[in-house]
Amino acid sequence: MFSLPMLIHPEALESMIAMHHMIEAEGLTKNYGNVTAVDRISLNVAEGELFGLLGPNGSGKTTMIRMLTGQVRPTSGSARVMGLDVVENPVRVREVVGIIPEQETPPSFLTAGEYLRFVARIRNLDGIDEQCDRWFDLLEFSDKRDVLCKDLSRGTRQKLMFAQAFLHEPRLVLIDEPLINLDPIMQRKVKDFLRGYTRDGGTVFLSTHILGIAEEICDRIGIIHNGRLLYTGPVDDLTGSGRHLESFFLDLVRGDAGA
């Protein structure tokens, strides 16, 4: 963890930190009818950080990502992603970030190769042959390039969604359940890639209910339950104090459920 230089005035320091926040959410809330999916969440994610939002199924992780990427409008609160207001500039936000949704699958009747070209055309990217080749090679599915997406296995579809999110070389990527459907070898590869990506200055906001991922690769985590953010802090603080993330998580969530 970095330590803060003491010679800088706190206000200036705050301003500096704010400039480097890739994600700033303030009181973000989303109601679906009578159900509050996300309840007044405020959080920041700094540039170069790998932030993991952890929570049980249905805790509001996906809704949080959808709000941060302008896919759904918040009921109240505000959020800025890479300096852009997500309500005022939802399409611009999705231009600059990469998103890997949890549930969505690529279009059935395009081949894997065609799908990447389709996304490239939407993003106005030219000369992406090398980029496509790189992703097919990195995720080891070059042999599936000409196969219709509907005929791909779930794991291969997830690889394809991974590739589309990084095609425009974004500085920030939001991933909903990053390792879903991937085999252990590919999981290792993806985890290494994400660590390398943040080392090179990229920022990752991922949501997952698999605690091992967070413990292994995240710099900082947030724990969400019933739409409320119960905790944010560095992973090292937990592991350094000798606590296991799993027991910490279970205590927190069970305590909240019992409250």
Among 3, 34, 103, 241, binds other proteins (CB under 8 A): 103
Handedness of CA 246, 251, 252, 258 (dihedral sign): positive
Q: How many residues bind other proteins (CB under 8 A)?
A: 41
| Residue 71 interacting with other proteins (CB under 8 A) | yes
Nearest in space to 217 (alpha carbons), one of 190, 253, 237, 243: 190
Among 13, 110, 180, 252, binds other proteins (CB under 8 A): 110
Nearest in space to 233 (alpha carbons), one of 254, 214, 255: 214
Determine whether 6 is exposed, middle or buried from the number of CB atoms within 10 Å of its CB (0-12, 13-18, 19+): exposed
Among 14, 18, 109, 233, binds other proteins (CB under 8 A): 109
Q: How far is the CB of 122 from other proteins (least distance, A)?
A: 5
| Residue 88 interacting with other proteins (CB under 8 A) | no
Stretch that binds other proteins, among 19-27, 59-67, 197-205, 218-226 (CB under 8 A): 59-67
| Residue 73 interacting with other proteins (CB under 8 A) | yes
| Residue 83 interacting with other proteins (CB under 8 A) | no
Cβ closest to other proteins, residue 161 vs residue 182: 161
Q: How far is the CB of 174 from other proteins (least distance, A)?
A: 9
Q: Do residues 195 and 217 make contact, with C-beta atoms less than 8 angstroms apart?
A: yes
Among 46, 148, 210, 230, binds other proteins (CB under 8 A): 148
Cβ closest to other proteins, residue 86 vs residue 238: 86
Contacts of 192 (CB under 8 A, 6+ apart): none
Task: Indicate the SS3 state at residue 124.
Answer: coil
Q: Do residues 174 and 69 make contact, with C-beta atoms less than 8 angstroms apart?
A: yes
How many Å apart are CA 113 and CA 232, to the nearest integer?
39
Among 151, 183, 236, 246, binds other proteins (CB under 8 A): 151
Q: Do residues 186 and 159 make contact, with C-beta atoms less than 8 angstroms apart?
A: yes
Question: What does DSSP assign to residue 152?
Answer: S
Q: Which residues are near other proteins by CB under 8 A?
A: 30, 32, 35, 37, 62-63, 66, 69, 71-73, 91-92, 94-95, 99-101, 103-111, 113-114, 117-119, 121-123, 146-148, 150-151, 165
